Structures are given as structure tokens and as C-alpha cells.
Amino acid sequence: MEPQRSPLLEVKGNIELKKPLVKAPSRLPLLGSRFKRGPDQMEDALEPEKKRTRGLGTATKVATSYPRAPALTTVPQAQGQTAAPKVPKKTAPQRSTSVATVLKNQKPGPAVPAKKPVTAAAPPKPGGKKPSKRPAWDLKGQLCDLNTELKRCRERTQTLDQENQQLRDQLREAQKQTTALGAERRTLEGELDRVRAQAEQDQRELGNLSARVLELEEWLGTQEGLVQGLQKEQLELQEERRGLVMRLEEQERRLQASEAALSDSQAEVASLLQEAAAQVALLAERGERLHGLEMERRRLHNQLQELKGNIRVFCRIRPVLPGEPTPPPGFLLFPSGPGGPSDPPTHLSLLRSDERRGTLSGMPAAPTRHDFSFDRVFPPGSGQDEVFEEIAMLVQSALDGYPVCIFAYGQTGSGKTFTMEGGPGGDPQVEGLIPRALRHLFSVAGELSSQGWTYSFVASYVEIYNETVRDLLATGTRKGHGGECEIHRAGPGSEELIVTNARYVPVSCEKEVEALLHLARQNRAVARTAQNERSSRSHSVFQLQISGEHTGRGVQCGALLNLVDLAGSERLDPGLALGPGERERLRETQAINSSLSTLGLVIMALSNKESHVPYRNSKLTYLLQNSLGGSAKMLMFVNISPLEENVSESLNSLRFASKVNQCVIGTAQANRK
């Protein structure tokens, strides 16, 4: 919508319009021009030169005649607006005044009368004819006429000036009226907008009220339906109330009967409470008896283990692997026990033929038979489950608070790592002693929890390589660095030994143990020797700290379970490997043989009750110090190769194991508080 122009702007625009003024004809002669005269004027041109020259020196003014200004017209007024006169534009040498106002879309209003200018009366003309011109020689008359004409022009000019001033006053008045009318118009427009907005708001409110009325009418209909439903429901409730009153009366009668029965029941409850108190006392007595039986079981279990020996030696012969030569018949024999073939074998016979020895007749000497006796011998066909079944009771002693240490001893390739950790691939049938022992401990701890015992387990896994302790559970930047780990006592006056900078990981399930074994298997130091392509060149020690507590009786127990996979026990000559790493392999073999010799010396010193036991001669014996003494239970697996080519190393291992089996250590004592 095009905005409406202010009347004042329209008036100013009309004033600024440039319109050509109509020039009024002049009756005065122009200077320097020649006039055409008739025959009656020819005489004026023949005047003496003196008369003509007298008028030349007089200054004459040429005045133009102005047409009479038209009366001020009026324009229709609308909404309090009046017409404004249009001011004429002055042009020289003519003057003309024109006033016009244009107001668009306005209603007509009262007209403002314009004052008619007063003009000077023209001199009467006799006869209604044009006065005749004076002759040319009558300069004085002409001058008089000119003065008269000049006077008349001045009067006309004065009249026009007055008229112009009046028009200007009228214009100012019209402009004032226009300004006032514009303000009033704007006020009325604002009021109109407010009225329209109010009308729209009222219309919306009316619509809302109409919708509300409809909604209330609908709600009223709904309420009427609800009232009818409630009235119907009230009738039903009244009927139901009558039924409930009847039932209440029936219940009261039954209540009276129940109260009578209740009195009888209270007497019976009192009797039952007495019986319950007797049962609680009996239960407490049986709990005490059960605890006593558990303690007796632990004592008898420990006594049974002591009868078997606090230092026991088991011998295990691995089967022949694919690609290996079959040993000759009679090379390894397993004599039956006193009970016949049904008894587990405990003896081993090994035949050795020495080609360097001969008789006087030049014939080779008969093979030499070497007999050994151990606590248990496992032939090549024995499985992992059969081996663990024999040591399960010993492992359970750790839950009773007795330190337990299990070794796997033998030359490289005899099956030590297989016995302790198991075979690759995660086959449950070939799991080693470590995962089976922890599964057994978790199971027994769960059974003892019903008797009030709670157990916690913390595992660590280290290796001793060239008398340097390394953490097999290290990850990140510490992986493969063993110089940071040292063996120290846990605190001043404490007998507990810990490995500094080693990870101690709490475990509670088999999956956590499997993850630790997998990590340790990757970190363990291995190397290729002449005995085995992948040979363990370090001692690996898996330690499980067991803490048990019976909160009801305030009893605590703690023990350490050690499962040790010793390095290969072969002598120097068979173990040397040709190549750039010969010296490194030589140092490894020397460190291994030194630590194994120290282990034998420690066991002998304990058996002989010597005052000084050389634990500190080796990192291995120093770490296992608390699990080798008189308060510990120890078992050694001596692993034997079935090949005839390894008979020399097999004999050395069997002889070392026989010496250990002959040792007797004092009675073990449980670590209880």
C-alpha cells in the first residue's frame, strides 16, 4: 500500500512546479525601436530637432502591464485540512501569481474566500475611444503621459504586492492548518489502529469464548452422563453394601471362632518358640562341632601329607614325540608295587649300555641297570588330570595356611613347562598344574564360604635369568626390563619377601589366570640350544598369596603357593651351541647350574638341621626361602626324557631327585592368627 503524502508536502510540491507565466501585452513603446505610424502621425516626425533632443536626455522607464490576478480559488477540505494557495514564481521582467493546492482522496470542506485586490480605476476615456497619441514634437505631453502611465503602473505594482502579501498570509495560514490537520489525522489514524486491534482482540476473545462455550456444553453432556453412571453405580454400591453388611456379620461370627482358635494357637506358638530356642542352641552346638571337625580335617590332612613326607619327589617320563626314535625294549621299566599292578608305580629302572666298556674276550659289556624309588612315578601314558589328582590335596594345604612349593626339575625338553603350564591351544585335557591348581583353590574356597570363610588371592609371576629378576607380567615400557626388580622384605621385622616393581594382580576366576599365563609365556626368556629348539633358559616362579578369614570366630590364615618351572639342568658340554652366541649360552648354563646346585645345598642343609642355610647364594632360593623351611610342604617333579640319547642327563636328574627324596624336613606348622 502506497504511503499517504502529507498535505504540506503536496502544497510545497505545487509551489515548486515550474509553469510558464503568460506575458501581458504592454502598451508602452520600447526604447530604441521604431514605431509604425499612420498618416496622422507623420507630422510628429517633422518636429524641430530641439524638441526631440529635449526628451532624449530624460530617463524613461518601460513598465509592463500586469494582468489582473485571478481570485484565490478554494479546494475541497477533508479531515480538517484546508487548501493552500500556490505561490507564483517571480520572473523578470514579468510577474504572475498562481495558487493551486492538490489534496488527494480528501473530502470537500468549506472554502476560504479570497480577497479581491483593489485596483486603481482607469482614467475615463471620452467617447469610449482610444486617446489619440500626441505629436512627436509634444515631448512634454508625452512625458506627462509617461508619468501618468508610470504612476498607474506603480499603483498596479503596489496593488499586486498587497495581493501577493495577502496570498502569502493565506498560504501560511493554510500551511498551519495543514500541519494541524496532519497531526490530527495521524492521531486519528493511531486511534483507528488501536480500535482495529481492539476489535481483532475482541473478535479472537469472542471466538475463544465460543469454543469455550462449546467445550463446556460438551463437558456438561459428559458430566450428565457421569452423573447418570454414578447414580447407577450408587445403586449398585448400595446393593453391594447390603451384601457386605451380611458378610460382615458372617465375618464377625467367624472372628469370634478365630479368636477362640487363636488362644489355642498362642499356646502352641509358645511351645514352638521353646523348640526353636532348643534348635538354635543345637545349631550353635553343631556349628561349633562343624568348626571343630573342619579343624580336625585340616589337622588330619596335614598329618596325612606329613606321613607322605614334607619333601616328596614325583618322577614323570614324557611320551615319545612324533619324529623321535623309539627307545629300545627294556630301556625304561616300571616295576609293580607290593599290591601288584593295581598299585600306582613308585619304582623306575633304567638300562644303560656303555660301548666304551668291554670284556676280556672283546665282547661288549652287559648293559647296566639303574633302579630308583620315588613317592610316585608317572609313565609316558599318564595324563595331566592324573598328575594333578595326586597333588590336589597338597595344593589344598595352602588354603589351610601351610606354605606349599612345587618344582619341575629336569633337562631341557623333558616336559617341565608342559607339566606346569600345559600345552598350547587351550585344550582342557592338556592344562598344566598352574591353571588346574587355581581352579581347584577357587572351587574349595567357594565351598568353605558356606562355613563362614572368605578368601582372597593375589598372583605374581617372575623369572630369574642370569641371577636377574624380571617381571613376567610387566606391560608397556617396563616390558623386558629386569634390572628394576629386587627381592626385599616387606618391612622391618617382617619375614615376608616381596619383589619390588613387580605386578601383584588380584585374581578371582580362571579367565584372569589364563590371561596372566598368556602374558608371562610371551615375556619369558627363551633361546635355541642343542637340546631343544625352544628351550627355557630361566627359572619361572608363579606365586599365589592366599589370605583367609573367618569373621565369626576371628580366625585368619595366610599362605604362599609357589609353582616353579626350573631351567634346563643339562651339563655344559651337551648344552653348548656353535655360533655367535656361544659365550652368552655358556654364561646362561653356568648361572642355571649354580642356582640348581644352591637349591640342592639348601635342601640338604634343611634336612641336616644345619644352623646356616645358604638361601642368599642364589636369587631362586632367596625368593623361595619361606617355602623351603620346616613350616612348608615341598614337592619336586623330576621330568625324564624317554630317548636313549639323553640317558646321561636322565641319570643325573634321577640321582639329584633321589638325594632330595631322602631328605626329611621338620613338621610343618600352619600360619594362623
Q: What is the DSSP-derived secondary structure letter of residue 365?
A: P
Q: Per residue in 413-449, pLDDT tens?
A: 899 999 998 887 678 888 999 999 999 999 999 988 8
Beta bridge partners of 560: 545
The x, y and z cell numbers of residue 335, run together, are: 616295576
β-pairing, 555-565 vs 468-471, is unpaired
Label each residue of 555-611 as H, E or C: EEEEEEEEEEECCCCCCHHHHCCCCCCHHHHHHHHHHHHHHHHHHHHHHHHHHCCCC
- Core vs surface per residue 346-384: b (16+ CB within 10 A) or e: bebebbeeeeeeeeeeeeeeeeeeeebebbbbbeeebeb
Beta bridge partners of 470: 463
Q: Which of 47, 45, 23 is nearest to 36 (CA)?
A: 45
In degrees, rounded to 5, the angle at the alpha carbon of residue 507 between the alpha carbons of residues 504 and 513 is 95
Q: Per residue in 173-205, pLDDT tens?
A: 999 999 999 999 999 999 999 999 999 999 999
Q: Report the alpha-carbon distance of residue 136 to residue 299 in Å, rounded.
A: 177
What phi-psi label fits residue 19: left (phi over 0), alpha (psi between -120 and 50 degrees) or beta? beta
Q: Is the peptide bond before 93 cis (omega within 30 degrees of 0)?
A: yes
Are the C-beta atoms of residues 566 and 624 closer than 8 Å to each other?
A: no
- State which residues of the chain have pLDDT below 50: 1-4, 6-129, 358-359, 527-528, 530, 533-534, 575, 577
Q: Report the alpha-carbon distance of residue 491 to residue 3 in Å, rounded.
A: 99
User: Around Cβ 508, how many Cβ atoms within 10 Å?
Assistant: 12
Q: What is the DSSP-derived secondary structure letter of residue 495?
A: -
User: Around Cβ 199, how many Cβ atoms within 10 Å?
Assistant: 10
Are the C-beta atoms of residues 470 and 462 closer than 8 Å to each other?
A: yes
Dihedral of CA atoms 420, 422, 426, 429 in degrees, nearest 10, equals -110
3-state secondary structure of 533: coil
What is residue 301's predicted lDDT score, i.e. its pLDDT? 57
3-state secondary structure of 471: strand
The x, y and z cell numbers of residue 76, run together, are: 475541497
Tell me the CB-side half-sphere exposure of residue 488, using CA atoms within 13 A.
9
What burial class does residue 190 get, using C-beta atoms within 10 Å of its C-beta: 0-12 exposed, 13-18 middle, 19+ buried? exposed
Name the residue type at position 560: L
3-state secondary structure of 636: strand
User: Around Cβ 425, how many Cβ atoms within 10 Å?
Assistant: 6
- Core vs surface per residue 463-493: b (16+ CB within 10 A) or e: bbbbeebbbbbbeeebeeebeebebeeeeee
Q: Report the alpha-carbon distance of residue 569 to residue 355 in Å, rounded.
A: 25
> DSSP string covering 311-344, please?
EEEEEEEPPPPTTSPPPPTTSEE---BTTBTTSP
In degrees, rounded to 5, the angle at the alpha carbon of residue 450 between the alpha carbons of residues 444 and 452 is 100
Q: How far is CA 339 from CA 315, 345, 631, in A?
A: 20, 10, 33
With residue 69 as reference, give the H or E element that holds it: none
Are the C-beta atoms of residues 358 and 364 closer than 8 Å to each other?
A: yes
Are the C-beta atoms of residues 125 and 98 closer than 8 Å to each other?
A: no
Q: Which of 476, 477, 474 is nearest to 485 (CA)?
A: 474
Q: Where are the beta strands (DSSP E) in 135-253?
A: none
Q: What is the DSSP-derived secondary structure letter of residue 449?
A: G
Q: Which residues contact 392 (CB under 8 A, 6 or more apart)?
A: 440
Q: Which of 606, 616, 629, 628 is nearest to 487 (CA)?
A: 616
What is residue 481's predicted lDDT score, i.e. its pLDDT? 55
Are the C-beta atoms of residues 402 and 633 closer than 8 Å to each other?
A: yes
User: Around Cβ 52, how many Cβ atoms within 10 Å?
Assistant: 14
Dihedral of CA atoms 653, 655, 656, 657 in degrees, nearest 10, equals 80
Q: Indicate yes or no: pTM above 0.75.
A: no
Are the C-beta atoms of residues 100 and 114 closer than 8 Å to each other?
A: no
